[in-house]
């Protein structure tokens, strides 16, 4: 540091009028100590700050002496001129600026090209999104339409099946009525034939009486003939009595059938059914059927179950099924023709029934269930419902 300060002081103390030769003598006088100190500091590198302070003070003079000095130690003026260095720096700046401008132009072209492609891709993507959304909406609309059509088809199928069942029931009822009519016609024709036979027999009897009167003299022979005729007439009388009794029974059956029809009873198979127009408990419903000479309905087939489900309309109805706690099972009432309780041969409980949710020991038909074969429900016996009575007539 001492040598550097000495060089700076000595350099600044030169007079403006000193000669170049004197200056060269001054440089020659200080060069060896400065170079030795520079090499020493460069090797040691003990302190970066000291090294750079030293380099900033002596590097320019040393560079000038190493590169452009002649044998006498003098340097050309353009080497040490500040204008040349500024010119070189200016040219380098121009070259650097030109390179930057070229790179900028190239970047702008490439960027504009990529921006154009990006905008095209963005528009195509947006168009595809819009098309995808439209297709999704159309798909959802088609799904909704398909579901609606499926529901309508199922409803039409159910309606068609119900109408078909009703048609079959009406056809069966019509055929049964036609058979009964044919039977009545045959019975009527038979009675007409018997009447004609009786008329003919009567005419014969008159003729025989006339013959008896005319053949009084042949009384003995005619008596024998009359006895034979009497026996024959007795047989015919017995036949007529039997025919008369059959006719009376048929008449009574027809009157009973007519009375039941007029009283609101409906015939199905060998039984008659009556739907009450009032509501009552299960026990009171059972007593009402007994007063009518009938019993709470006992269901033995699917066809009977379907009939009662349709007969009830929109009203839930008591049936003759109840829970026997002693037996711990469901049994039909003992009011039927057999006069004894029996377990059901076939049941039509709804899903999850009977569940006995609180003293539910009696059964009903729930008409709100759309499937007739799954419409039984267990209820408390005190619940108020309509009921169906069943009766088998004496002639069945």
**62 has a pLDDT exceeding 50:** no
Domain region containing 319: 268-391
* pLDDT cut 90: percent of the chain above it: 44
The residue among 261, 288, 319 that closes a domain is 261
Question: Does a structural domain hold residue 376?
Answer: yes
Question: Does a structural domain hold residue 107?
Answer: no
The residue among 228, 261, 294 that closes a domain is 261
Return the bridge partners of 275, or none. Answer: 388
Q: Are 282 and 381 in contact (CB under 8 A)?
A: yes
Looking at the fold, whether 383 and 293 belong to one and the same domain comes out as yes
pLDDT of res. 20? 44
- Would you call 385 helix, strand, or coil by DSSP? strand
pLDDT of res. 35? 57
Q: How confident is the model at residue 27 (pLDDT cuts 50, 70, 90)?
A: very low
Q: How confident is the model at residue 36 (pLDDT cuts 50, 70, 90)?
A: low
Q: Which of 15-19, 217-221, 271-275 has the lowest mean pLDDT?
A: 15-19
- What pLDDT, in 10s, does the model give residues 337-350? 666 667 888 899 99
Q: How confident is the model at residue 14 (pLDDT cuts 50, 70, 90)?
A: very low
**19 has a pLDDT exceeding 90:** no
Q: How far apart are CA 251 and CA 322, in angstroms?
A: 38
Looking at the fold, whether 361 and 300 belong to one and the same domain comes out as yes
Residue 67 token pair: 């590169």
pLDDT of res. 370? 85
| b/e sequence 205-241, b meaning 16+ C-beta within 10 Å | eeeeeeebeeeeeeeeebeeeeeebeeeeeeeeeebe
**327 has a pLDDT exceeding 70:** yes
Question: Does a structural domain hold residue 183?
Answer: yes
Question: Does a structural domain hold residue 130?
Answer: no
φ/ψ bin of 344: left (φ > 0), alpha (ψ from -120 to 50), beta (otherwise): beta
Q: Are 236 and 195 in contact (CB under 8 A)?
A: no
Please give the model's pTM, rounded to 2 decimal places. Answer: 0.39
**Comparing 262 with 366, which gets the higher pLDDT?**
366
Question: Does a structural domain hold residue 74?
Answer: no
- For residue 240, which of 279, 195, 208, 276 has the smallest C-alpha distance? 195
Determine phi and psi for 379, rounding to 5 degrees.
Answer: -140, 165
Looking at the fold, whether 256 and 186 belong to one and the same domain comes out as yes
361-386-319 Cα angle (round to 5): 45
Looking at the fold, whether 255 and 273 belong to one and the same domain comes out as no
Q: What integer is the mean pLDDT of 39-50?
A: 54
Looking at the fold, whether 286 and 255 belong to one and the same domain comes out as no
Question: Does a structural domain hold residue 76?
Answer: no
Looking at the fold, whether 240 and 279 belong to one and the same domain comes out as no
pLDDT of res. 15? 44
pLDDT of res. 2? 43
Looking at the fold, whether 250 and 304 belong to one and the same domain comes out as no
Q: How confident is the model at residue 44 (pLDDT cuts 50, 70, 90)?
A: low
Q: How far apart are CA 319 and CA 317, in angstroms?
A: 6
Most confident of 4-13, 33-42, 82-91, 290-299: 290-299
Q: How confident is the model at residue 61 (pLDDT cuts 50, 70, 90)?
A: very low
Q: How confident is the model at residue 72 (pLDDT cuts 50, 70, 90)?
A: very low
pLDDT of res. 26? 41
Question: Does a structural domain hold residue 338?
Answer: yes
Domain CATH code at residue 312: 3.10.100.10
- What pLDDT, in 10s, does the model give residues 97-153? 999 999 999 889 888 888 888 888 898 899 999 999 999 999 999 999 999 999 999
Looking at the fold, whether 285 and 385 belong to one and the same domain comes out as yes
Question: Does a structural domain hold residue 103?
Answer: no
Half-sphere exposure of 297 (CA within 13 A, CB side): 30
Looking at the fold, whether 33 and 6 belong to one and the same domain comes out as yes
- Residues in Cβ contact with 375 at an 8 Å cutoff, skipping those fewer than 6 apart: 305, 309, 348, 350, 365, 366, 367, 369
Looking at the fold, whether 277 and 384 belong to one and the same domain comes out as yes
pLDDT of res. 394? 57
Q: What integer is the mean pLDDT of 80-102?
A: 88
Q: How far apart are CA 305 and CA 273, in angstroms?
A: 12
Q: How far apart are CA 31 and CA 288, in angstroms?
A: 147
Whole-number Cα distances in Å, 100 to 87, 94, 110? 20, 10, 15
The residue among 17, 33, 66 that closes a domain is 66
Give the number of domains in the chain: 3
pLDDT of res. 290? 94
- For residue 366, which of 378, 355, 358, 384 has the smallest C-alpha distance? 378
**39 has a pLDDT exceeding 70:** no
Q: Average pLDDT over the chain, rounded to whole?
A: 80
Q: What integer is the mean pLDDT of 8-15?
A: 42
Looking at the fold, whether 224 and 186 belong to one and the same domain comes out as yes
pLDDT of res. 167? 93
Whole-number Cα distances in Å, 2 to 203, 324, 352? 186, 130, 114
Looking at the fold, whether 276 and 385 belong to one and the same domain comes out as yes
**24 has a pLDDT exceeding 90:** no
């Amino acid at each position: 540091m001492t040598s550097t300060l000495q060089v700076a002081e000595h350099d600044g103390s030169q007079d403006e009028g000193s000669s170049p030769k004197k200056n060269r003598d001054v440089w020659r006088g200080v060069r060896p100590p400065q170079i030795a100190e520079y090499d020493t500091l460069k090797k040691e590198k003990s302190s970066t700050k000291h090294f750079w302070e030293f380099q900033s003070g002596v590097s320019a003079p040393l560079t000038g002496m190493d590169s452009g000095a002649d044998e006498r130690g003098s340097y050309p003026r353009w080497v040490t001129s500040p204008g040349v260095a500024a010119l070189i720096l200016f040219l380098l700046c121009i070259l650097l600026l030109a390179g930057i401008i070229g790179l900028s132009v190239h970047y702008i072209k490439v960027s504009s090209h990529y921006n154009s492609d990006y905008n095209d891709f963005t528009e195509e993507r947006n168009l595809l999104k819009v098309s995808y959304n439209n297709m999704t909406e159309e798909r959802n609309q088609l799904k909704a339409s398909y579901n609606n059509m499926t529901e309508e088809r199922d409803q039409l199928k159910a309606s068609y099946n119900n109408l078909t069942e009703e048609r079959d029931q009406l056809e069966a009822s019509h055929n049964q009525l036609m058979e009964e009519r044919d039977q009545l016609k045959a019975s009527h024709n038979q009675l007409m034939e018997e009447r004609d036979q009786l008329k003919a027999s009567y005419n014969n009897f008159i003729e025989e009486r006339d013959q008896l009167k005319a053949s009084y003299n042949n009384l003995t022979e005619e008596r024998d003939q009359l006895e034979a005729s009497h026996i024959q007439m007795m047989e015919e009388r017995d036949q007529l009595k039997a025919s008369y009794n059959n006719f009376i029974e048929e008449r009574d059956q027809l009157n009973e059938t007519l009375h039941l029809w007029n009283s609101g009873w409906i015939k199905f198979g060998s039984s008659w059914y009556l739907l009450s127009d009032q509501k009552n408990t299960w026990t009171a419903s059972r007593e009402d059927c007994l007063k009518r000479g009938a019993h709470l309905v006992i269901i033995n087939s699917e066809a009977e179950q379907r009939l009662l489900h349709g007969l009830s309309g929109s009203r839930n109805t008591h049936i003759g099924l109840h829970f026997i706690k002693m037996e711990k099972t469901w049994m039909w009432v003992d009011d039927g023709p057999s006069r004894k309780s029996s377990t059901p041969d076939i049941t039509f409980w709804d899903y999850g029934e009977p569940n006995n949710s609180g003293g539910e020991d009696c059964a009903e038909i729930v008409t709100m269930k759309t499937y007739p074969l799954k419409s039984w429900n267990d209820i408390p016996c005190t619940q108020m419902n309509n009921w169906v009575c069943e009766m088998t007539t004496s002639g069945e």
